[in-house]
């Protein structure tokens, strides 16, 4: 079975273990089977709206609580952000995100600045307000109350203080109830990037390899013996950036058509309907057609048609039929 080739399996959560509030069928049975085989199982979600305690409660609500009794196996953008700032000399940060994220960053020794939010203020009013000149980092995470004030304050910190820009993730969507897809943190990050005319200095969540490198080191395994299971392009790039393989499951955001379009580091190694594929043999997903083969496809067809026409003329002037085209194709292939 697929899992036999790996010592460690890292799971995304939304769209893999549960989707739109519903538990994915056989999620518990699959995790139990991996545990019985002594596989090292970790979880890494780009969700930045839950602290460890709330995150564990979500697992428990889906009957998966026994797999996250030890916090070291449970990662998300909040824990990744805290780990990032523990290795920095950041003094003050403007953080857009939930209280748990702010607490985690404070736990790393960083002062979190929380300016008075002026909802409905005009651009002229916001331009007059002073920003804290000591802010040396801006952290962008999911916040359902995100608005123009946050974009303005974050942009000014970046432009006026030259602060470091830290994004928890750049996921453009997440799966919601009734099989609907809603905007994710990537939409917020894109707005600030456009306004400040710069890209994030670091993405602590997926697809950056930062968290997966830490997970592989903690597991004490080889990256090549580690499999990432996810439902989005960011999960696939997350795996490949760290030298791991990726299984794309179709129980969340991405579709089979998406997988067929993706190439390079976004091309998954395996594609399956859901995580139960780990318990059976799965063939590798075929590589993307090379750009050179696509470039020559139309000229080759035109050339084959031209040769077919010449062949038909030699046979007496009748219009070329399928056999003529087959002869032409064989002739071109042999050249």
Indicate the SS3 state at residue 240: helix
DSSP-derived letter for residue 219 is: H
Q: Residue 106: helix, strand or coil by DSSP?
A: helix
Known catalytic residue at 213: no
The question of whether 132 is a catalytic residue gets the answer no
Whether 247 and 226 have beta carbons less than 8 Å apart is answered as no
Whether residue 161 is annotated as binding a ligand: the answer is no
47 among annotated binding-site residues = yes
Number of H helices, E strands in the chain: 12, 15
Query: Exactly one of 4, 14, 53, 245 is catalytic; which is it?
Result: 14
From the list 12, 171, 269, 324, the catalytic residue is 12
Residues ≥6 apart with Cβ < 8 Å to 229: 9, 10, 11, 12, 16, 235, 246, 247, 249, 275, 278
For the chain, helix, strand, coil in percent to 5 are 45, 15, 35
∠ CA(270), CA(37), CA(7), 5° rounding? 50
E-only strand ranges, the chain: 8-11, 18-19, 22-23, 40-45, 74-76, 92-96, 111-113, 137-140, 164-167, 173-175, 181-183, 202-203, 226-230, 245-249, 270-272
According to the annotation, is 46 in a ligand binding site?
Answer: yes
Place of tokens 């002062």: 111
Contact, 135 vs 162, CB < 8 A? no
Is 12 among the annotated ligand-binding positions? Answer: yes
Distance of alpha carbon 216 from alpha carbon 194, whole angstroms: 34
327 assigned to a ligand binding site: no
**Is there a contact between 41 and 31 (Cβ–Cβ < 8 Å)?**
yes
Binding residues: 12, 14, 45-47, 206, 231
Binding residues for Mg(2+): 12, 14, 231
Binding residues for substrate: 45-47, 206
Residues annotated as catalytic (active site), given as ranges:
12, 14
């Amino acid at each position: 079975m697929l899992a036999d080739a790996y010592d460690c399996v890292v799971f995304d959560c939304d769209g893999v273990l549960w989707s739109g509030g519903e538990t994915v069928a056989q999620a518990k049975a699959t995790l139990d089977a991996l545990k019985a085989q002594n596989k090292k199982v970790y979880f890494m979600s780009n969700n930045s709206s839950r602290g460890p305690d709330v995150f564990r409660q979500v697992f428990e609500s889906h009957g998966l609580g026994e797999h996250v009794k030890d916090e070291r196996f449970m990662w998300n953008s909040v824990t990744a952000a805290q780990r990032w700032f523990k290795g920095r000399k950041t003094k003050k940060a403007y953080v857009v995100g939930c209280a748990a994220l702010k607490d985690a960053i404070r736990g790393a020794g960083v002062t979190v600045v929380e300016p008075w939010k002026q909802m409905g203020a005009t651009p002229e009013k916001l331009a007059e307000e002073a920003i804290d000149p000591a802010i040396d980092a801006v952290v962008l995470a999911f916040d359902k109350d995100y608005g123009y004030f946050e974009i303005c304050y974050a942009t000014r910190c970046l432009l006026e203080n030259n602060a470091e820009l830290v994004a928890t993730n750049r996921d453009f969507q997440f799966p919601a109830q009734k099989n609907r897809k809603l905007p994710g943190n990537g939409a917020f990050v894109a707005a600030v990037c456009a306004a400040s005319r710069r890209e994030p200095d670091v993405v602590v969540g997926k697809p950056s390899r930062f968290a997966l490198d830490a997970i592989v080191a903690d597991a004490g395994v080889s990256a090549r013996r580690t499999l990432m299971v996810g439902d989005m392009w960011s999960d696939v790039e997350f795996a490949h950036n760290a030298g791991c393989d990726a299984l794309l499951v179709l129980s969340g955001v991405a579709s089979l058509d998406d997988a067929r379009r993706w190439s390079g580091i976004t091309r998954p190694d395996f594609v399956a309907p859901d995580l139960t594929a780990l318990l059976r043999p799965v063939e590798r997903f075929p590589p993307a057609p090379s750009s050179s083969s696509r470039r020559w496809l139309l000229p080759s067809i035109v050339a084959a048609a031209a040769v077919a026409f010449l062949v038909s003329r030699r046979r007496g002037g009748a219009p070329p039929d399928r056999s003529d085209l087959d002869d032409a194709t064989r002739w071109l292939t042999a050249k």
